[in-house]
Amino acid sequence: MRDRNPRLNINVAQLLKEPTGSVRWHDLSEDIRGIDHELRILAPLTGTVKMIRTADGIFVTGRLHTVLQLECSRCLEPLVEPLHLEIEAEFRPSVDIQTGAKLPLVEPADGATTIDEQHILDLMEIARQAIFLASPMHPLCREDCAGMCPQCGQDLNEGQCDCVADVVDPRLETLKQLL
């Protein structure tokens, strides 16, 4: 669910009027905080997108950058993670650029890759998905992070705790007797 509704809008009316193979470049520098409540974005989304006119619409590729605040998966400390995103998607118009007649939509019902009636292409959903795909599954504050003690919760990066290390899971106790 989104906190607010940021948009990455690009007007592509002129590009839709051009022949197949025409190219346009667009530089981005947009504040995308609030794109998703699960993301803590610290820097604007920056980069360049390339838009190529295709027979069916506009093919968009781009290299984008932003910075996220994440939580270390071992010790739960906050960390800053720069992200480098690659996006690639074909957007299709919802209306004919010449006649204004509605066109049949062939993509998913979410409309993430639909060019609207005013010939505006919105990259926000594609960027949001790319951010999730580029985010590390198990972010670490550092490679040798020792994590937390599973018994007392002590941050083992700050020092050892006084817990007994030989605690055996009671479900595995019978296996210990076999040794």
Beta-carbon contacts of 61 under 8 Å, excluding residues fewer than 6 positions away, are: 49, 50, 52, 86, 87, 88
Statement to judge: residues 92 and 29 lie in one domain: yes
Statement to judge: residues 96 and 123 lie in one domain: yes
Range of the domain at 63: 9-145
Residue 2 within any structural domain of the chain: no
- What is the Cα Rg of the chain in Å? 24
Statement to judge: residues 139 and 152 lie in one domain: no
Taking the model in full, what pTM does it have? 0.78
Over its length of 179 residues, how does the chain's per-residue pLDDT go in tens digits? 333 456 689 999 999 999 999 999 999 999 999 889 999 999 999 999 999 999 989 999 999 999 999 999 999 999 999 999 999 999 998 887 766 667 766 655 556 788 888 989 999 999 999 999 999 999 999 999 999 988 888 888 888 888 876 666 777 777 777 76
Total tally of structural domains belonging to the chain = 2
Residue 1 within any structural domain of the chain: no
Statement to judge: residues 18 and 99 lie in one domain: yes
Statement to judge: residues 137 and 154 lie in one domain: no
